[in-house]
Amino acid sequence: MTDKKPRNERWEAFDRIWSKGKNGKMRMRLMEKCNIRGLEPTEANCRDYWMGYIRYYVNAWTGKGIHCNPRKNKSVMKSLKRSKIDAEQKEKRRGKKGTHGLSRYNKNKKRRFNR
């Protein structure tokens, strides 16, 4: 009995595609798609693309876009100001900035509707 961790069907499909050899049609297509997105066409990057882990992010300061796996490229995500820790801190701060964020209108005032 082997206690192998059950894997996703897409993961196993990728293993079959990759094991067919260097000249496999689908393997070449995956490698080309990684190249187009600016990724090195390695097995790990192609698997990430195949599984849907590669996302497109835009740097807010420069406007430059980048494709990356946010779980593997922590330094890239920090440079894009999109780290998980920053998001959690922003969530904690939300609503605690003072009264300047309130609207100018009196919320208690009843409004009349013309019907």
- Mean residue pLDDT across the chain: 79
CB 54 within 8 A of CB 14: no
Query: 1 falls in which pLDDT band (50, 70, 90)?
Result: very low
The answer to whether 46 touches 34, Cβ cutoff 8 Å, is yes
pTM over 0.75: no
The candidate with the shortest Cα–Cα distance to 48, out of 25, 72, 64, 26, is: 72
Find the mean pLDDT for residues 29-53. Answer: 93
Averaged pLDDT, 35-54: 93
Q: Between 19 and 115, whose confidence is greater?
A: 19
Q: Does residue 47 carry a pLDDT above 90?
A: yes
Cα distances (Å, whole numbers) of residue 19 to 2, 30, 32: 22, 13, 17
Provide the pLDDT for residue 79: 81
